[in-house]
Structure 1
Amino acid sequence: MDSPTSQFVSSRSMGIFEPIHQMSMWGDFRGNGFPSTSMAEIMEADMKLDNQSEDTSHEMLEPSNKCDQEASKHPDKVLRRLAQNREAARKSRMRKKAYVQQLETSRLKLIQVEQELERARQRGQYVGSSTLDASYLGYSATVKNSGINAFEMEYGHWVDEQNKQMIELRDTLNSINIDDERKLQILVEDGMKHYYNLFRMKEKVAKSDVFYIMSGIWKTPAERFLLWMGGFRPSEVLRVVMPQLEVLDEQQQMNISSLAQSCQQAEDALTQGMEKLQATLVEAVAAGRLGGGSYLPQVSTAVERLKPLVMFVTQADHIRQEALQQIYHILTTRQAAQALLALAEYSQRLRALSSLWTTHLRES
C-alpha cells in the first residue's frame, strides 16, 4: 500500500524484518493465587475430622473393617475437593476478568459521553461563527455545511469503533494462547485501516471546508493545542509510542531512527510551505491602500492564493499514513499492537485532559 509521499522515507526503513522472539506479557497462572496442598496433607486433615465426628456407637466395629472403609473413602474425597478447588479458581478468574472488563467499559462510556458533550459544544461554536459571517456578508440564512455535519457524526462513530478495537486488541495481546497470534495480526491490520479511513474522511471534508479541518474544531482543546496541519505530528507519535514497546533489536532501532528523521524532514518542508502560503496571503489581503474603499479585488486574489491549502492538509495526512505503514513494516506484530494501543491511549488521555480542564474552568 504505497502513498504519494513514500519517497520521503529512507530506503533503510522500507524493509520488512523477521519478528524477534516474542515475550509473554503474563506470568504462569497455574497457581491461580491458591496455596498448594499435598495429597498426604489433605488425607491427614480428613482423617482427623472423621475421627473427631465419629459416633461412639461405632466403636464396637472391628478395627480392620473401619480401616478398610476409611481407606476407600479418602481418595474420592480428595478428588472431589481438588475438583471443587479447580472449579472455584476458574470461577474466581472469570469474575475478576468480568469485573475488569466492566470497569473498562464504564471508563470508555464516560469518555464517550464527555466527547459527545465536547463535540456538541464545538458544533455550537462553529455554527455560531458561521452565522455571524453570514450576517456580516448580508445573508439572512444561516450558513450550514452538510459535509461538516456528516463528518462530525462519522468521526464520533470512528472514535467509538476505535475504543472497541482497542479493548479487543488489549485482551488478545494479553492472552497466552498461541492460537491468538493470527487473530492479533488481523486486529493490528484492522487498526491500521481504521486510521486510513479517518484520513479519507478528512480529505473529503477538507474539500468542503479546509479551515474546519485546519482549525481542529472537531477535536478537544488539548488535541487542538498540539495540532499540526489538522492532525498529529508523525515524529511526535514515534517519540510517544516507541518507549512503550518491547525491546527493539539493533536493526529495528536503526530503521526507526531513519524513519523519525525522514518524518521530521517532511514535516519541516510542509511547514515551510505553509509559512510561505501565509505570507503570500497576507500580501494579497493587505495589497493597495487600507481604508481606501472597495477591497474586493484584494479578497478575490486572496481566495486564489488559498486554493493550495487543501493540498497541504491532504499531504500532511499522506505523511501520517506513510509513517504508520513504515512502523507496521519495521515492528513485529506484537510490537505493532503495542504501538496502536499506546497511540490510542495517548489520544484518550488528551481528551480526558480537555474534560478536566473544562471542569476546572467552570469551578474556578
Structure 2
Amino acid sequence: MASKGAWKQATQQQQQEDQQHQQIAFGMVQPSSSAAGSFMNKETGAYDLGELDQALFLYLQGHDHPSVQEQKRKLDQIFFREGLGITTPTTSASKRPTERSMELVKPSTADPGKDIKPADKREGPKKGATSGSEHEGPRTPDSKTLRRLAQNREAARKSRLRKKAYIQQLESSRIKLSQLEQELQRARAQGVFFGGGVFGEQGLPGGIGGISSDASMFDMEYARWQDHHHRLMCDLRAAVLEHLQENELKMYVDNCLAHYDELMNLKSIVSKSDVFHLVSGVWKTPAERCFLWLGGFRPSDIIKILLSHIEPLTEQQILAIYALRTSTNETEDALTQGLEALQHSLSDTIASDELSCPSNMANYMGQMAMAMNKLSTLEGFVRQADNLRQQTLHRLHQILTTRQAARCFLALAEYFHRLRALSSLWLARPRQE
C-alpha cells in the first residue's frame, strides 16, 4: 500500500511539472500577433537574436501540445512573411527533397566560370610551368640536332641542284631533238633521202653523197651516245676523286661497260644495211679515222694505252693481261689477213675480162653476183671486229679491280677525247695558198 501511494504521488508530481512547462511555453508563444514586434529592435529595425533563440528553445520544448502546434503554424507564417527563412523540424523535413533537387539544378544554372574549378586546379601547374619556361627563354638545340639540321639542309640543297641540272638536261635534249627533226624534214623536202635500196640521180644508193637513211640515223644516235658517254665519264671521275667504296664505284663502272655494249648494238644494226658507212669511218673525226680498223679502234691499242694507267698490278693480273694481248693480236692479224684477201679477190673479180664484154649479159650478171657475195663477207668481218672489241673490254673488267677498271675507262675516254680535240685544231688551222 505504501508503495502504491508513493507511485501515485510521483506520478502526480510529474504531471504537475509537465503542466507547468506547457504553461510557460504557452505563455511565451501566446501573443502571436505581437511576437515579431517584440523581437524587433525599435532603433535599428533588426531582430534581437538572443531573444529569438530563447523563444525558439521554449517553442521547441512544447511542440507536442495541440495549442503549441497552433502557435507553431502561426509563428511559421510570421517568419515566412518577414523573410527570416527559419524552419521547424516538420517543415525542414518536407523541404529536404526540394533542397536536393535545387542542388542538382545549381551546377547547370551557376556561373560557367565556377564549373571549371577542378580543371583550373589541374591546369595550374601547367600554366606555372609554361610561364617559367617563358621566363627562361628559348632552349638552344644540342650539337647533334644542329648537325642533323645542317645535313638535312645540305641534302636538300644538293637535291635542288640535281633537279635543276636534270631539268636543264631535258630542256637541252628537247631543243636538240627539235633541231634534228627540222633538219630531217628539210632534208626530205630537198629529196636527199630516197629510202633504202633506191638509187638517186647520180646512181648512188640513198641519194646525194651515198648516205642512206639508216646511216644518217646512226650518225645521230652516235652523237647522242657521245653526249651520254661524256656525262658518264664526268660522274665516274667524280666518284674516283671522292674515293667511294668498291660497291658504290662498281655501279659507275658497270654503267660505262653497258654503255659500250650499247654502241656495239647500234653498229650491228647499221652494218646489216650499210656496212660501207662503218668501214669508211665518216662518222668519226679525221684524227680518229687515222687509227680506224674495221669500223672501230684496235683492241690491242686499248691494252697498250691502259698498261701505263692501271699500275700497280699483281703478278697474276700481269700474266692475264699479257695473255689477253697475245690472243687479241692473233685475232686482229687473222681478221686483217682475211680483209686483205677479200680486197684482192674482189679486185680480181671486178677487173675480170668477162666484165669487159657487155654483150654477154649472162657472164656480166654472174660476175656481179659473185662480187656481191664477196662484199657480204665484209659485214661478217666488221661484226667479228666489234665482238673482239667488246670481249676485250669485258675481259679487262674481269681481270682488274673495280678501281683499276674505273681508271681504265677514264684513260680510254681521255685518249679518244684528245683525238677529237686534235681533229678540231686541224680543221681550224689557218690555211695558206
Partner Cα distance (2:422, 2:211) in 1: 30
Would the aligned equivalents of 2:218 and 2:266 in 1 still touch at CA under 8 Å? yes
Would the aligned equivalents of 1:220 and 1:354 in 2 still touch at CA under 8 Å? yes
Shift of residue 270 of structure 1?
Answer: 0.7
Quick one: which of 271, 282, 290 aligns to 1:206? Answer: 271
1:185 aligns with: 250
Shift of residue 140 of structure 1?
Answer: 11
Residue aligned with 2:408, SS:
helix
In the TM superposition, 1:1-364 aligns within 5 A as 134-137=200-203, 142=208, 145-178=212-245, 181-288=246-353, 291-293=356-358, 295-360=364-429, 362=431
Task: Assess, with a 3 A threshold, how the Cα gap between structure 1 residues 310 and 140 changes in structure 2: closer, same or farther.
Answer: closer
For 1:346, the aligned partner's letter is Y
Shift of residue 344 of structure 1?
Answer: 0.7
Partner Cα distance (1:241, 1:342) in 2: 7
Shift of residue 157 of structure 1?
Answer: 0.9
Q: In the TM superposition, what whole-angstrom CA distance separates every residue of 1:269-309 from its partner, at most 9, and x where no partner exists?
A: 11111111111111111111565446544333211211111
For 2:372, the aligned partner's letter is V
Task: Assess, with a 3 A threshold, how the Cα gap between structure 1 residues 361 and 300 changes in structure 2: closer, same or farther.
Answer: farther
Would the aligned equivalents of 1:286 and 1:298 in 2 still touch at CA under 8 Å? no
List runs of 5+ in structure 1 lacking aligned partners: 1-86, 92-97, 99-108
Task: Assess, with a 3 A threshold, how the Cα gap between structure 1 residues 138 and 310 changes in structure 2: closer, same or farther.
Answer: closer
Would the aligned equivalents of 1:216 and 1:227 in 2 still touch at CA under 8 Å? yes
Partner Cα distance (1:141, 1:315) in 2: 29
TM-score (norm 1): 0.61
1:95 aligns with: none
Partner Cα distance (1:144, 1:166) in 2: 31
Residue aligned with 1:195, SS:
helix
Which one has more relative contact order, counting CA pairs under 8 Å at least 6 apart?
1
Task: Assess, with a 3 A threshold, how the Cα gap between structure 1 residues 321 and 141 changes in structure 2: closer, same or farther.
Answer: closer
Output the aligned Cα RMSD.
3.7
Shift of residue 362 of structure 1?
Answer: 4.5
Task: Assess, with a 3 A threshold, how the Cα gap between structure 1 residues 140 and 358 changes in structure 2: closer, same or farther.
Answer: closer
Shift of residue 136 of structure 1?
Answer: 3.8
TM-score (norm 2): 0.52
Would the aligned equivalents of 1:199 and 1:317 in 2 still touch at CA under 8 Å? yes
Q: In the TM superposition, what whole-angstrom CA distance separates every residue of 1:120-173 from its partner, at most 9, and x where no partner exists?
A: 9xxx9xx79x9xx83343999656622112211111111001100000000000
Partner Cα distance (2:413, 2:207) in 1: 40
Shift of residue 358 of structure 1?
Answer: 0.7
Partner Cα distance (2:225, 2:319) in 1: 33
Partner Cα distance (2:354, 2:430) in 1: 43
Percent identical among aligned pairs is 41
Would the aligned equivalents of 1:252 and 1:330 in 2 still touch at CA under 8 Å? yes
Would the aligned equivalents of 1:173 and 1:184 in 2 still touch at CA under 8 Å? yes
Task: Assess, with a 3 A threshold, how the Cα gap between structure 1 residues 176 and 192 changes in structure 2: closer, same or farther.
Answer: closer
Partner Cα distance (1:297, 1:226) in 2: 36
Would the aligned equivalents of 2:206 and 2:213 in 1 still touch at CA under 8 Å? no
Shift of residue 176 of structure 1?
Answer: 3.3
List runs of 5+ in structure 2 lacking aligned partners: 1-149, 155-160, 162-171
Partner Cα distance (1:141, 1:243) in 2: 46
Partner Cα distance (2:366, 2:347) in 1: 14
Q: In the TM superposition, what whole-angstrom CA distance separates every residue of 1:79-133 from its partner, at most 9, and x where no partner exists?
A: xxxxxxxx9xxx9xxxxxx9xxxxxxxxxx9xxx9xx9xxx9xxx9xx79x9xx8
For 1:255, the aligned partner's letter is A
Partner Cα distance (2:336, 2:217) in 1: 29
